[in-house]
């Protein structure tokens, strides 16, 4: 018989749970998620796996009653202990390698952050990367603080209408019901700061997001003291026109610096994640001039404080503003800067004095960074070409833009069932020599072990994990994805009244080679490329012995009709062509859908128009689940692919002509698919196991997983840029 918990013990657990729910640490801890799931299975599933919402949904009375189940209370205590141990850990990586950042942290500015599906304030890959950067900064114990915007309506939710056309709707994010908390001042009141925008002083409040050990501050202008159009400034991610955009960026850059000062922070580095944050340089200059420094001196010092990461070679990804707009938006801020307007304009121009050249945020960021980087090796080359004109007298190779290849936060992306699978491998009671080796090396620190190359190197060893175990895992994950997709499609079809509903068990085949494609539907990513060989693809999917099937998902930007036409085309094929039942489109792509897809698919397809995919990260999420990449040699895959750890589409080169490129890539895609991918997947031994396929999977795991993490990436930022002073 176990003793009932005392009121004091219960109070302690309840308080601990409230704190835990408002720390996104739970989003990469399996046992913590299991707790919230167990507490309210349907609530967890239906409310975007939101720990805060689950705790609100379950009454205090119920929670206390449930905790009288001593086994449940014991598991809960273990989770809280682990959480507190994480928060209080002293011997972190940064403790040894970057202690000076504790006092003067890195301030990381980003217009979007994607941590978890319950807080949908990210439009795509850029935000996901920023979110993963924070999680790894936390794991490493880095002195680090994030700054972003709180978008009350977030990024749009996607629905498909009866014409297969994407429509957008917005779910207001209730700040009290998501894992954030208001930032208060010393008196316990809302902390409020101001930025001069246009002719106004715009007030903003702040929400703190606890990401493990670090804080990210989200600025929010929705305050009664602001005029309505300023209250609406932070409504949507990249919402509105260029006036909204420039004002959002003033808030982020200028407001962000003011907030950090208000909190008494003296960051050693201001890291601009993409050009959106570049106005922070003007505030740093203003501060110095206000302190009595000359403009030239203020410029030079500001440049020493800043770091810039560029994320895309696509033109539309570089914000440009007209002089008139800049003049209007800065009319009250400029006099404080005391620099003539023409001089300010020239800070954002490649050719100072060219009155036809608009003001470009990327140029401003490059001019005021002590270092700048692209996000893959090829993107580095492309960026040096792109911005060569900014550095007269330098050859392309001398243009000071380096690169750090992106990564993902491994535990954050790993599907729950796979986390359990690998953890069991590490801690199995009948310890083999191998597991003993890891125990000796990492003790109980599972997070370090799972990020370490030594762990993934073991994947080539059938003693550590057998072909049979890996194949069973692949089957389990494919089954989980297909059931997820069927459930989603059932819900989707209930909204559309066309009678084109396909019977549940006729949709998708749990034995078939499953190819996934999901990302933003930007046209350069060429989602429908594979269907250029339509008749051939029909043959593949209808092959009874060796069937292939496709799962697609992704959102087009609300103003991108070409992207929406791609979606329409794919959904049309999925309903009204010979591909029906073998091709599906899942609505409303988000982090949760992404996690299901990268784990359940056998093949992750990526066919961007090279070299426009600066890095790409979704393919990195695949390999720890045994899903293999099948991609153009662009971005990260050009570095990851070694001939035997996945599949490449075409060579490490591309034609200059776009039509020619589409034609060649589509032919190469189809050839590799039919000559390599499909035969290898279906080449089974007497036990039905595809030995050659699994060998390739093992190579993928051993060479890719630990290489393309934000653990590696943030360490690289620290060594190369953050600590360089």
Ligand X SMILES: *Cc1c(COP(=O)(O)O)cnc(C)c1O
| Least distance in angstroms from the C-beta of 63 to ligand X | 32
Q: How many CA atoms lie within 13 A of 529 on its CB side?
A: 28
Contact between 622 and ligand X per CB under 6 A: no
Nearer to ligand X, 253 or 412 (CB): 412
Helix extents (H) in 444-560 = 446-451, 453-457, 467-495, 534-542
Q: Tokens standing for 126?
A: 């850029």
Contact between 148 and ligand X per CB under 6 A: no
| Least distance in angstroms from the C-beta of 509 to ligand X | 25
The correct pick among 618, 666, 702, 703 for binding ligand X (CB under 6 A) is: 618
Dmax (CA) for the chain in angstroms is 83
- Burial of residue 228, with CB atoms counted within 10 A of its CB: 0-12 exposed, 13-18 middle, 19 or more buried: exposed
Contact between 128 and ligand X per CB under 6 A: yes
3-class state of residue 518 by DSSP: strand
Whole-angstrom Cα distance, residue 377 to residue 412? 25
The correct pick among 594, 627, 632, 718 for binding ligand X (CB under 6 A) is: 594
Region binding ligand X by CB under 6 A among candidate stretches 121-129, 263-271, 334-342, 506-514 = 121-129
| Least distance in angstroms from the C-beta of 156 to ligand X | 13
Contact between 590 and ligand X per CB under 6 A: yes
Region binding ligand X by CB under 6 A among candidate stretches 23-31, 220-228, 585-593, 641-649 = 585-593
Region binding ligand X by CB under 6 A among candidate stretches 79-87, 139-147, 441-449, 614-622 = 614-622
Contact between 640 and ligand X per CB under 6 A: no
Contact between 631 and ligand X per CB under 6 A: no
Q: Which residues pair with 196 in a beta bridge?
A: 201
Whole-angstrom Cα distance, residue 205 to residue 187? 15
The correct pick among 124, 198, 253, 646 for binding ligand X (CB under 6 A) is: 124
Contact between 125 and ligand X per CB under 6 A: yes
Asked whether 610 and 661 are in contact (CB, 8 A), the reply is yes
Q: Tokens standing for 306?
A: 């800043």
- Strand 647-649 relative to strand 583-586, pairing: unpaired
Contact between 617 and ligand X per CB under 6 A: yes
Whole-angstrom Cα distance, residue 492 to residue 500? 11
Contact between 313 and ligand X per CB under 6 A: no
Taken in order 423, 425, 429, 431, the sign of the CA dihedral is: negative
The correct pick among 412, 616, 640, 646 for binding ligand X (CB under 6 A) is: 616
Contact between 591 and ligand X per CB under 6 A: yes
Whole-angstrom Cα distance, residue 508 to residue 550? 9
Whole-angstrom Cα distance, residue 455 to residue 459? 8
Region binding ligand X by CB under 6 A among candidate stretches 76-84, 170-178, 347-355, 612-620 = 612-620
Region binding ligand X by CB under 6 A among candidate stretches 240-248, 377-385, 587-595, 666-674 = 587-595
Q: Which residues pair with 604 in a beta bridge?
A: 516, 629
Q: Tokens standing for 393?
A: 């007298």
Binding mask 461-500 for ligand X (x = CB under 6 A): ----------------------------------------
| Least distance in angstroms from the C-beta of 112 to ligand X | 11
Asked whether 75 and 21 are in contact (CB, 8 A), the reply is no
Least Cα distance to 636 among 396, 374, 387, 448 occurs for 374
Q: Tokens standing for 144?
A: 């680090």
Binding to ligand X in span 188-217, by CB under 6 A: none
The correct pick among 519, 575, 609, 699 for binding ligand X (CB under 6 A) is: 519
Whole-angstrom Cα distance, residue 101 to residue 97? 10
| Least distance in angstroms from the C-beta of 555 to ligand X | 8
How many positions of this chain bind ligand X (CB under 6 A)? 12
| Least distance in angstroms from the C-beta of 591 to ligand X | 5
| Least distance in angstroms from the C-beta of 550 to ligand X | 16
Least Cα distance to 417 among 459, 338, 479 occurs for 479
3-class state of residue 460 by DSSP: helix
Region binding ligand X by CB under 6 A among candidate stretches 197-205, 505-513, 615-623, 716-724 = 615-623
Binding to ligand X in span 245-264, by CB under 6 A: none
* Contacting residues toward ligand X, per CB under 6 A: 124-125, 128, 519-520, 589-591, 594, 616-618
């Amino acid at each position: 018989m176990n003793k009932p918990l005392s009121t004091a013990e219960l109070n302690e657990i309840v308080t601990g749970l409230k704190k835990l729910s408002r720390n996104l640490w739970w989003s990469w801890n399996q046992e913590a998620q299991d707790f919230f799931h167990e507490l309210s299975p349907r609530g967890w599933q239906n409310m975007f796996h939101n720990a805060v919402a689950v705790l609100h949904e379950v009454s205090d009375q119920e929670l206390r009653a449930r905790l009288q189940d001593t086994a449940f209370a014991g598991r809960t205590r273990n989770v809280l202990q682990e959480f507190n141990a994480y928060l209080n850990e002293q011997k972190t990586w940064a403790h040894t390698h970057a202690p000076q950042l504790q006092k003067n942290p890195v301030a990381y500015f980003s217009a979007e952050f994607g941590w978890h599906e319950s807080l949908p304030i990210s439009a795509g890959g850029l935000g996901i990367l920023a979110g993963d950067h924070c999680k790894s900064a936390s794991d490493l114990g880095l002195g680090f603080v994030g700054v972003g915007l709180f978008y009350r309506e977030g990024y749009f939710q996607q629905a498909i209408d009866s014409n297969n056309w994407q429509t957008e709707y917005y779910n207001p994010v209730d700040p009290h019901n998501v894992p954030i908390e208001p930032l208060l001042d010393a008196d316990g009141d809302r902390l409020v700061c101001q930025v001069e925008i246009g002719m106004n002083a715009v007030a903003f409040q702040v929400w703190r997001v606890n990401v493990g050990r670090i804080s990210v501050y989200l600025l929010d202008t929705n305050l009664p003291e602001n005029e309505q159009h300023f209250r609406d400034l932070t409504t949507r991610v990249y919402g509105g026109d260029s006036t909204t955009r420039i004002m959002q960026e003033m808030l982020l850059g200028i407001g962000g610096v003011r907030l950090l000062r208000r909190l008494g922070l003296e960051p050693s580095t201001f890291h601009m994640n993409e050009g959106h944050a570049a106005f922070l340089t003007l505030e740093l200059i203003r501060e110095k001039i206000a302190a009595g420094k000359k403009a030239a001196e203020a410029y030079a010092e500001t440049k020493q404080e800043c770091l810039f990461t560029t994320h895309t070679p696509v033109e539309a990804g570089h914000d440009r503003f007209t002089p008139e707009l800049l003049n209007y938006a800065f009319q009250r801020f400029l006099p404080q800067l005391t620099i003539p307007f023409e001089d300010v304009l020239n800070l954002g121009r490649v050719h100072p004095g060219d009155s036809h050249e608009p003001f470009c945020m990327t140029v401003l960021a490059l001019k005021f960074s002590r270092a700048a980087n692209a996000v893959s090796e090829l993107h580095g080359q492309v960026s040096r070409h792109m911005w060569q004109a900014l550095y007269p007298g330098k050859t392309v190779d001398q243009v000071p833009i380096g690169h750090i290849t992106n990564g993902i936060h491994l535990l954050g992306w790993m599907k729950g069932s796979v986390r359990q699978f690998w953890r069991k491998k590490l801690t199995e009671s009948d310890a083999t020599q191998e597991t003993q080796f890891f125990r000796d090396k990492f003790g109980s620190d599972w997070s370090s072990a799972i990020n370490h190359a030594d762990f993934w190197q073991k994947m080539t060893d059938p003693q550590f994990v057998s072909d049979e175990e890996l194949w069973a895992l692949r089957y389990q994950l494919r089954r989980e994805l297909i059931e997820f997709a069927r459930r989603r499609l059932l819900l989707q079809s209930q909204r559309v009244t066309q009678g084109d509903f396909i019977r549940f068990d006729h949709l998708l085949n749990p034995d078939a080679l499953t190819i996934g494609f999901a990302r933003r539907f930007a046209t350069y990513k060429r989602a429908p490329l594979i269907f250029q060989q339509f008749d051939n693809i029909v043959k593949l999917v209808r092959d009874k012995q060796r069937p292939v099937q496709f799962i697609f998902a992704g959102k087009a930007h609300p103003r991108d009709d070409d992207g929406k036409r791609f979606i329409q085309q794919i959904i049309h094929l999925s309903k009204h062509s010979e591909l029906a039942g073998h091709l599906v489109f899942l609505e409303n792509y988000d982090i949760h859908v992404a996690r299901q897809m990268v784990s359940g698919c056998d093949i992750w397809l990526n066919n961007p128009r090279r070299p426009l995919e600066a890095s790409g990260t979704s393919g990195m999420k695949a390999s720890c689940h045994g899903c293999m990449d099948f991609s153009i040699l662009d971005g990260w895959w050009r570095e990851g692919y070694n001939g035997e750890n996945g599949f490449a589409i075409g060579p490490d080169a591309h034609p200059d002509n776009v039509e020619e490129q589409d034609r060649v890539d589509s032919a190469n895609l189809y050839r590799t698919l039919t000559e390599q991918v499909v035969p290898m997947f279906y080449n089974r031994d007497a036990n039905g196991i595809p030995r050659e396929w699994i060998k390739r999977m093992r190579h993928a795991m051993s060479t890719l997983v630990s290489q393309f993490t934000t653990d590696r990436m943030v360490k690289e930022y620290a060594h190369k840029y953050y600590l360089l002073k």
